[in-house]
Amino acid sequence: MNEKSTFPWPSATGVGSLPGGDAREAAKAVTGSFEDFPHLPELPARGPGADMIGRTLGLLVDMYAHVEPSGWRVSDRPGRDTRRARSWRGEDLDALEEFTQGYEGPLKVQAVGPWTLAAALELRGGEAALGDPGACRDLAGSLAEGLRDHLAEVRRRVPGARVVLQLDEPSLTSVLRGHVRTASGYRTYGAVDRQAVEATLREITAVTEDPVVVHSCAPDVPFALLRRAGADAISFDFSLLTERDDETIGEAVEGGTRLFAGVVDGVEGPLSDPAGSVMGVRTLWRRLGLSPGILAESVVVTPACGLAGASPAYARQAMAHCVRAARSLADNPE
């Protein structure tokens, strides 16, 4: 049995983004809410470079990008936008380090995965890197190197942490189905071969010996492909599951893959009681014929997606609600 298979997954955590622009307040909120499984907060409200694409582009090694009206585009050298992304990441890490003094346990950091990044990053001509296989390979290689450096820095700053990497891949299904639109908007890029997608993801998941989570809040998450590519856990919006997903989810659980079930709304609204939030998870378990005894150890409760669009007050409530819902799941698995 390998070390990853015995990793002691806690019961609740966040997805990544939070509202506002104060790194210290965000780190304080996350570490106070998820005492057993905090994550590095992302604050996209600060502007370009704090958004999920810009943050990850700031991690790349020997590749740079700047903001155009149409989005992020490849640059020859690091400019203002790259420097800003790196500066904000430094602020975020400073704040996290401050509020994790003496912490020992799992700590999650997020980055955009190679295929969502390729779908979002424009080459010099304005088309996405996704349309150029060579550019996709270069981007994945640069991302892998940058992630190794980033994870090493997090480990240095929080030496007691077991750093879990989350790869955000909301565009992955569109990449696989050929639904990503070109710059003109009149056509789409061809579907990328599933073996190529899997191989590139495996290259990225191999950057760390610690567990890797792949997150997508889009419909039709390719569970089986992600498992083959090295994902130890898969994070998704639970409300988007259909019975078509039952077989692959059952196989994932029986194979030891953890499910990060997004059951708490990421947008403003009334929160149900904690037991009600995880009722669907219990129903799924019964439908699949899985043992109630493995439910709590197989599921990590999270918001459905990031909380950047919520108010600070609701974001705090949602994080606390995840913890209570996870406790309900553990206390009453049937």
pLDDT given at position 276:
86
pLDDT given at position 1:
38
Q: Across residues 126-141, what is the average pLDDT?
A: 96
Instruction: For residue 4, name the pLDDT band (cuts at 50, 70, 90).
Output: low
pLDDT in tens, 189-217: 999 999 999 999 999 999 999 999 999 99
Amino acid (1-letter code) at residue 43:
L
Which residue segments constitute the domains of the chain, with CATH numbers given?
7-331 (3.20.20.210)
Instruction: For residue 3, name the pLDDT band (cuts at 50, 70, 90).
Output: low
pLDDT given at position 330:
87
Q: Across residues 133-154, what is the average pLDDT?
A: 98
Question: What span, in angstroms and rounded, lies between the C-alpha atoms of 108 and 304?
Answer: 17
The secondary structure of the chain, three-state, reads CCCHHHCCCCCECCCCECCCCCHHHHHHHHHHHCCCCCECCECHHHCCCCCHHHHHHCCCCCCEEEEECCEEEEECCCCHHHHHHHHHHHHHHHHHHHHCCCCCEEEEEEEECHHHHHHHCECCCCCEHHHCHHHHHHHHHHHHHHHHHHHHHHHHHCCCEEEEEEEECCCHHHHHHCCCECCCCCCECCCCCHHHHHHHHHHHHCCCCCCEEEEECCCCCCHHHHHHCCCCEEEEEHHHCCHHHHHHHHHHHHCCCEEEEEEECCCCCCCCCHHHHCHHHHHHHHHHCCCHHHHHHHEEEEECCCCCCCCHHHHHHHHHHHHHHHHHHHHCCC
pLDDT in tens, 230-265: 999 999 999 999 888 999 999 999 999 999 999 999
pLDDT given at position 183:
87
Please name the residue that has the structure tokens 């609701």: 314
**Mean pLDDT value across the chain:** 94
Q: Please determine, for residue 274, whether its predicted confidence score (pLDDT) is greater than 80.
A: yes
pLDDT in tens, 290-331: 998 899 899 999 999 999 999 999 999 999 999 999 999 888
